Amino acid sequence: MTENAQLTAPTNTVTRRIFVAGTRMNDGKTTTCLGLFAALQQLYPKVGFIKPVGQRFVEIDGQLVDEDSVLLGKTYNVEAPIESMSPIAIDGTFTKRFLDNPNSVSKQLTHKVCAGFDRASWEKDVTLIEGSGHAGVGSVFGMSNARVAKLLGAKAIIVSRGGIGQPIDEIAMNKALFDQEGVEVIGAIINKVQIDKMEYIRKYTGIALERLGIPLLGLLPAEKVLTSPNLKQIRQRINGHPLNQSNEGSSHRFNHIIIGAMTATHFLDMVAPGTLLITPGDREDIVKAALSHEGDPVSRSVSAIILTSGIRPSADLNEHISRSRIPVMVAESDSYTVASRIHGMTVKTQPEDQDKIPVIKNMIQENVDLQRINNSL
């Protein structure tokens, strides 16, 4: 092949490959890939990873790289150039540039995906391919997930969130797009299932999927640690200003939020482990009560405090805050807005989230039919 020749298919026909698709964004593709990668490492000496089309990216050495490729690369020290693991990053003007010159750009995209796969899969036994959104995402520029899976010669797994009616409908629609491209769907994984509904969902989802000709590969339980934000993520979300050193580097997660609008005594009765206190900066009675119970043996100690409405504490309280190990920050917005922003957060796994990785590995290992996936390869 000459230097300027355009690839229309990967030259690698040996490496096994599996495409992980979702019915929607944030349904659990990345979580599934993180767990599957570790599981595949137990079966094959060398495992590769690629996310051909990425929509959330970071800049590395002047190049846009999908953040999930960075996550997998750092978590497992994947032996491949990071640019090959993320050949296409969709920025805000990408679609316009394509529609202005579709023929030329289409050839470039096909070449990038194929060349990226070849490099990411060099000397690998199996390569995990992560999609972006549902099967049709990318259709506007000719690179839908279904089309990319066909281009790379991969079989597909569809990941959906817990439930019966809507998830099955969405899986059926996504399978239709894969069928249209001639891509085999080897099964579905249902994610974020409430533990007390596992057997109920397993029974009826299994029946519904069987009618569609799709094996149920497993159900993943809803794990609080995977959706709970840490202090750094909250601070970034609300643009908080730290008031003490306890804010630095904290990876503590919060699963209980209290808006301090009651008496201090009543507030203390509501505190549970992992509590985040959100209160106006002038409610010093509540803040002092929270700080005075730091390290309380009966778990009446909050894990962090956000002072809202941009109100800074008095000099006396500020001195108390500076000595406390409880992280305290100030946000300019009011308490309701701060709580709403935190509640509406989509918590993505980051490379520094080392507490999540063992949970994800065990979750996939214990709940997914890995033998069936391996047999399909």
- Do 16-226+350-376 and 229-343 have matching folds? no
Least confident segment among 60-69, 206-215, 231-240, 247-256: 247-256
Mean pLDDT of 16-39: 92
CB atoms within 10 A of CB 199: 11
- Flag whether pLDDT at 308 surpasses 60: yes
Least confident segment among 111-115, 143-147, 180-184, 350-354: 350-354
- Flag whether pLDDT at 15 surpasses 90: yes
Position of tokens 């640019």? 83
CA 160 to chain centre: 13
pLDDT band at 101 (very low <50, low <70, confident <90, very high): confident
- pLDDT, mean over the chain: 89
Is the distance from CB of 149 to CB of 59 less than 8 angstroms? no
Q: List the helix and strand counts (H, then E) for the chain.
A: 16, 15
The pLDDT, as a whole number, for residue 5 is 64
Mean pLDDT of 28-55: 93
pLDDT band at 3 (very low <50, low <70, confident <90, very high): very low
SS3 84: helix
- Flag whether pLDDT at 73 surpasses 70: yes
Angstrom CA distances, 225 to 125, 183, 235, 270, stand at: 32, 34, 18, 21
Return the domain boundaries, the chain.
16-226+350-376, 229-343
What CA–CA distance (Å, rounded) separates 183 from 19?
10
Least confident segment among 89-98, 148-157, 274-283, 290-299: 290-299
Which residue, among 241, 293, 249, 243, has the nearest Cα to 271 in the 3D structure?
Answer: 293
Q: 47: Cβ–Cβ under 8 A, 6 or more apart, which residues?
A: 37, 40, 41, 76, 78, 124, 125, 126, 127, 128
- Flag whether pLDDT at 296 surpasses 80: no
The pLDDT, as a whole number, for residue 2 is 45
The pLDDT, as a whole number, for residue 250 is 58
Pick the CATH number of 229-343 from 3.30.1960.10, 3.40.50.300, 3.40.640.10, 3.40.1390.20: 3.40.1390.20
Least confident segment among 20-34, 60-74, 141-155, 278-292: 60-74
Which residue, among 233, 214, 225, 188, has the nearest Cα to 363 in the 3D structure?
Answer: 225
What CA–CA distance (Å, rounded) separates 134 from 42?
29
**Cα three-residue angle 17-190-373, rounded to 5 degrees:** 30
24 or 201: which leads in pLDDT: 201
The pLDDT, as a whole number, for residue 133 is 78
Mean pLDDT of 300-323: 90
Least confident segment among 25-29, 275-279, 292-296: 292-296
pLDDT band at 1 (very low <50, low <70, confident <90, very high): very low
Pick the CATH number of 16-226+350-376 from 3.40.630.10, 3.40.50.20, 3.30.10.20, 3.40.50.300: 3.40.50.300
